[in-house]
Amino acid sequence: MNKLMASVLLLVATSASGQVDIKVREVSAKDAQSMLDIGKPKAAREIALQCAARNDADCQMVAAQLLLQGVGGKTDDKEALRLLTAAAGQKHAPAQALLGNLFMNGIGVKPAPPVAVTWWVQSAENCNTWAQDAVAHSYFEGELVPQDLVKAFHWVSIAAHFQFPDSEKGAAKIGEMLSAGQRAQADATIKEFLSSSGCGKDKPIIQYEPE
């Protein structure tokens, strides 16, 4: 695809009088997905990289996924890591979740489970219910990070509030393990999160599980 056409799209429309109206807009992540949908992976990759260079978080996410999967070209884990880090820094919840997986599995970076959980926490804070449940499991099991039942209950309860599958059972199980003081502490942090996070209000609830 021509580099100019990879960075902009020409929108052509004809008015009732026959006058041609040409508008130019920058390409987006949706354009990259459209190329994938019609079987043009190389064009999708070029478009995603072009708009990712504008620091567009959605494009950075799509481009990183294509680079990780080797769609439209060779795999490039290091560049995918760089793009995800940029998107995650813009509070892009799916990018934060996927970046956590890269640190968990040592893709493009040395494995660092505690760092992975840190990114999952940020994704959870940005309303990703999968991440909320994953963080709850991490704190409950105590293998990736030190066990913390209060934090585990906090996150599984929030996931349950936003109807993540089976999280209600997890909340009930962990809730029975808390002391009265721990339960009061967790209830306070849950109430604060639900009132101040913006999830379900200013921010959409998402369920993104990174592959």
pLDDT band at 24 (very low <50, low <70, confident <90, very high): low
Catalogue all structural domains in the chain, each as residue range(s) with its CATH number.
Answer: 1-74 (no CATH), 91-211 (1.25.40.10)
Residue with tokens 């921010």: 203
pLDDT band at 211 (very low <50, low <70, confident <90, very high): confident
Which tens digit of pLDDT belongs to each residue from 141-161?
Answer: 999 999 999 999 999 999 999
Instruction: Write out the two tokens for 196.
Output: 């101040």
The C-alpha atoms of residue 45 and residue 154 are separated, in whole angstroms, by 39
Query: CB under 8 Å to 186, separation ≥6 — which residues?
Result: 150, 153, 154, 157, 178
Q: Residue 14 pLDDT more than 50?
A: no
Main-chain dihedrals φ then ψ at residue 145, nearest 5 degrees: -140, 160
Query: CB under 8 Å to 98, separation ≥6 — which residues?
Result: 61, 64, 65, 84, 210
Q: Residue 22 pLDDT more than 50?
A: no
For the chain, what is the radius of gyration of the CA atoms?
21
Instruction: Write out the two tokens for 98.
Output: 């996927």
- pLDDT at residue 16 in the model: 52
- pLDDT at residue 18 in the model: 53
